[in-house]
């Protein structure tokens, strides 16, 4: 990883625990559940990234394949075609770093070559066998996202997350990914019932035992519609409420569509209830350049 990219990676990680970190979503896809097609064109994508950074987001997360339930997977070559020009144009040109939202190692490799400093892996290092080594070689940070291939309402979802994260962290350790580069995501909406999504937020504090930053992505997710009572899962108020509940439970990073509103809400939340860095067996996480 180039020295300037290392500085961006470490600058981002140093924010964790100091204040809430906002990750802005940039889907360069035609079929994402909320904004599919809106930012697929190059100029629209670049302009939206700039707007999100101007609104206060700390990192822009670029995705070239929809991961919504029921979405059709796309070939690796098409995903690369969608993200390459956008990542190349924005890396180093924005005041905020970039992450790549992918479970494919080759896509992650190319994005980090172009300047992305974080891989947001919805496969949790378990879907593509080459992903962990790719991230380690790139010296990138990683978000390990919990997911299930199918819903099972009989399981304790936090227990399932623990087993999943234990496997993923063992994979990361074998590949040589430093723990200080690892972020955990409970994967709201990925193979979970509405009840389990609620439980994941309500019991988020239990995952802080890992001593690693927690990222939550609830923005405009469908389970929120049943909670607002009007079925309108895309409403901003539901997303804001869920993210503030997650913040109270120990979440440090928030992946959102509506950047300005979350920056303002989380600023107020932090002023009232300052965040504390995650603590592990060795004490506070130490962010160093590697």
Which residues participate in catalysis according to the annotation? 221, 255
Neighbours of 155 (CB within 10 A): 14
């Amino acid at each position: 990883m180039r020295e300037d990219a290392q500085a961006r990676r470490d600058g981002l990680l140093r924010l964790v625990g100091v204040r809430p970190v906002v990750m802005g979503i940039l889907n360069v896809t035609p079929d994402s559940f909320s904004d599919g097609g809106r930012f697929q064109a190059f100029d629209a994508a670049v302009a939206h990234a700039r707007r999100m950074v101007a609104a206060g987001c700390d990192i822009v997360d670029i995705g070239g394949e929809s991961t919504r339930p029921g979405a059709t997977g796309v070939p690796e070559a098409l995903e690369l075609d969608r993200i390459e020009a956008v990542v190349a144009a924005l890396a180093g040109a924005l005041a905020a770093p970039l992450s790549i939202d992918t479970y494919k190692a080759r896509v992650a490799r190319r994005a980090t070559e172009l300047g992305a400093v974080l891989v947001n892996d919805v496969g949790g290092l378990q879907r593509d066998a080459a992903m962990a080594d790719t991230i380690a070689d790139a010296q990138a940070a990683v978000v390990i996202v919990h997911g299930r291939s199918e819903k099972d309402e009989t399981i304790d979802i936090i227990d399932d997350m623990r087993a999943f994260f234990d496997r993923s962290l063992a994979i990361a350790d074998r590949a040589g990914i430093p723990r200080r580069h690892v972020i955990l995501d409970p994967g709201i909406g990925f193979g979970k019932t509405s009840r389990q999504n609620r439980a994941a937020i309500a019991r988020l504090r239990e995952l802080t035992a890992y001593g690693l930053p927690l990222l939550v992505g609830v923005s405009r997710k469908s389970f929120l519609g049943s909670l607002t009572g009007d079925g309108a899962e895309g409403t901003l108020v539901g997303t804001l409420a869920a993210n503030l509940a997650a913040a109270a439970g120990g979440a440090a990073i928030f992946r959102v569509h509506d950047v300005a509103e979350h920056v303002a809400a989380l600023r107020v939340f932090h002023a009232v209830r300052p965040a504390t860095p995650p603590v592990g067996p060795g004490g506070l996480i130490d962010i160093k350049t590697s």
